[in-house]
Structure 1
């Protein structure tokens, strides 16, 4: 079930003179991230989160960065530290923003990371919760392509684990690609990742 999420980082072009410090900080953090300066980007997001206690997005991206880093980390102690940090910042985001489908997807991904890290310990503990999170996110935002893709991939992984056919979920992956084509985030900083991943998964469906 281990997979790599490909992020699409959006930038605001044509900086406005009235741009806020928050906007400038977020742009800088994304620029650092795009240039593979993960540590510096994460620290920038942390400073924004501390300065903007009512903003959920900086906390979301800190959680996402640590979630992504844990996929490729081999050191067990580092994985645990990354996932614990991801959870702490996601908790902060969830305290700010209620019933947010993007945050529910991120929670599902963090729990999936735990399952991938140690399936014997965390598989039974988190599998039902992950399905519940995706279903809740889908009920809130059925047109969000990241919700549709995440839910489909989780269901495919579960089907594969139990020796079941994964083809029925390929239609959902295809649907997510259609949704990505018309998806318009509320702002340039809102989550908008996964289209390349969806195309890769769909290709594997057709192989």
Structure 2
């Protein structure tokens, strides 16, 4: 009964918020819809800059900054040039740091920090692996401590465990059951509002496919 009441309360709060700030919700909804049309660095940069403009107007809302950083992190994974990768991550880092100040109790913020730190690691795994793998683990650990059910935090943990497995004398595929379980239960997790992050299912599906 308590869970039902809590769920109803969350829905009502979301509806009230949407009624109070209809332009913000409409603009954010339209911008989030543009993710599906992004095919390259330029597309994500344009979208990221749009989220930055929203953040400059809606200074008390953390989600525009979240998606601004998310776009630039994705750009770093698409880019081949190491210097450009880092330059995109420099932009993302500023928003991630602001997010931590604005929403220190949101698990999604620390998942994004872990994602950003993974981007830094990927630029130069040989030189950065030892330092950044630990930082990624710390950030994602904070996310799981806040919300152990967060699917993106679980996905990051599986990816880290699989990556570290060979160095621990383990078979990366020993984590495949966890990935399959996560994929099967992914849609059971309900974001706090329609604007909250819901990415990651495709990545988990990719892990599961590689396990076959």
- TM-score where L is the length of structure 2: 0.82
Please tell me whether Structure 1 or Structure 2 has the larger radius of gyration of its CA atoms: 2
Map 1:173-188 to 2 at 5 A. Answer: 173-188=179-194
How many residues are matched?
191
1:80 aligns with 2:82: no
Alignment-derived partner of residue 70 in structure 1: 76
Distance across 2 between alignment mates of 1:78 and 1:163: 35
Q: Is the Cα contact below 8 Å between 1:32 and 1:40 reproduced in 2?
A: no
Q: Is the Cα contact below 8 Å between 2:45 and 2:75 reproduced in 1?
A: no
Alignment-derived partner of residue 22 in structure 1: 24
* Post-superposition offset of 1:18: 6.9
Distance across 1 between alignment mates of 2:192 and 2:151: 14
Alignment-derived partner of residue 10 in structure 2: none
Which residue, out of 136, 140, 149, partners 1:143? 149
Identify unmatched segments of 5+ residues in structure 2.
Answer: 1-17
* Post-superposition offset of 1:161: 5.0
1:124 aligns with 2:124: no
Distance across 2 between alignment mates of 1:157 and 1:96: 31
* Post-superposition offset of 1:151: 0.8
Greater mean alpha carbon deviation, residues 118-127 or residues 167-176: 167-176
Distance across 1 between alignment mates of 2:81 and 2:137: 28
Map 1:159-170 to 2 at 5 A. Answer: 159-161=165-167, 164-170=170-176
Instruction: Kindly indicate which of the two structures has a greater share of residues assigned to helix.
Output: 2
Map 1:81-100 to 2 at 5 A. Answer: 81-100=87-106
Q: Is the Cα contact below 8 Å between 1:112 and 1:130 reproduced in 2?
A: yes
- TM-score where L is the length of structure 1: 0.84
* Post-superposition offset of 1:43: 2.0
Distance across 1 between alignment mates of 2:29 and 2:171: 43
Alignment-derived partner of residue 102 in structure 1: 108
* Post-superposition offset of 1:71: 0.9
1:198 aligns with 2:204: yes
Specify which structure has the bigger relative contact order, considering alpha-carbon pairs within 8 angstroms and separated by 6 or more residues: 1
Greater mean alpha carbon deviation, residues 51-60 or residues 158-167: 158-167
Alignment-derived partner of residue 4 in structure 2: none
Which residue, out of 40, 46, 67, partners 1:40? 46
